[in-house]
Amino acid sequence: MEAKPTIHVVDDDGAIRRSLQRLLFSAGFGSAVYETTFGFLEAAPSLKEGCLLLDLRMPGIDGLQLQALLNRLGFHLPIVVMTGHGDVAAAVQAMKAGAVDFIEKPCDDERLLGAIEQALTVSGRTARDREEAAAAERIATLSPREGQVLDAISSGCPNKVIAYDLGISVRTVEVHRARMLARLGTRNGAEAVRLAVLAASARQLEGSRPNLRKGRGRLQSPPARQSSCLSRRI
């Protein structure tokens, strides 16, 4: 049996590093762990295969800064980022910078291993292109209002702020959010945001401006108050 690639884990939490090592070992992966981004940065030039599992919230150079440095160095291994609950905006930024996927902590073992397996198959653009096209099709099923709610969630806005910006009640936001998740077939906001990022990438590849509010053939969204929340687009 061919040995699986090594997964490189960058996380400053020792308990999480040990837990991930056990999980990766049980799944047949080798692992190398790094407590600091500086430690991984030193090792990066010599790495030829595998996948990077990167925590975004790190002391010193954080995960996003490390990702930017790695991009400048021409680092070619796929990256899966880990982020705390509610830190969706940082995860969106990481995916726009080239991360293959993001996982919310605490990590679901099956979801994490699936993301790693998928990252390891992305040797070119083909698999990613198919995923982006599929995401764009799912996003296009949203109503304009559901698209607005997803835009706001992607910017890290809480329901109360979304309600104010759209001029609707918090309960109505919750209803739109629930319908949006059901329509996309996602379990939570983080998974929906991931689809939104992939769909936006697909539109950029087609040479058109990303427009998550274009649903069911209708080009216009319901009017919303001008705000810093809804003006931050993916």
Q: Of 74-83, 174-183, 199-208, where does mean pLDDT reach its minimum?
A: 199-208
Burial bucket for residue 28 (CB in 10 Å: 0-12, 13-18, 19+): exposed
What pLDDT does 204 receive? 66
Edge-to-edge order in the sheet of strand 101-104? 30-34, 6-10, 51-55, 79-83, 101-104
- Which tokens is 38 given? 């500086």
Higher pLDDT, 74 or 22: 22
What pLDDT does 51 receive? 93
Residue 18 pLDDT > 60: yes
- When pLDDT is averaged across residues 73-85 and rounded to a whole number, the result is 85
Residue 95 pLDDT > 80: yes
- Domain regions of the chain by residue span: 6-123, 125-234
Give the confidence band of 169 by pLDDT, cuts at 50, 70, 90. very high
Q: Please provide the average confidence, as pLDDT, over all residues in the chain.
A: 82
CATH class belonging to 125-234 = mainly alpha
What pLDDT does 217 receive? 37
3-state secondary structure of 112: helix
Bridge partners of 101, per DSSP, are 80
Give the count of alpha carbons within 13 A of 52, CB side only.
29
Residue 79 pLDDT > 50: yes
CB-CB neighbours of 196 under 10 Å: 28
Q: Which amino acid is at 153?
A: I
Query: Full-prediction pTM beyond 0.95?
Result: no
What pLDDT does 125 receive? 52
Bridge partners of 30, per DSSP, are 6
Q: Of 134-148, 159-173, 176-190, 211-225, where does mean pLDDT reach its minimum?
A: 211-225
Give the confidence band of 96 by pLDDT, cuts at 50, 70, 90. confident
Residue 126 pLDDT > 90: no
Residue 184 pLDDT > 60: yes
**Strands, DSSP E only, in 71-123?**
79-83, 101-104
Per CATH, the architecture of 6-123 is what?
3-Layer(aba) Sandwich (3.40)
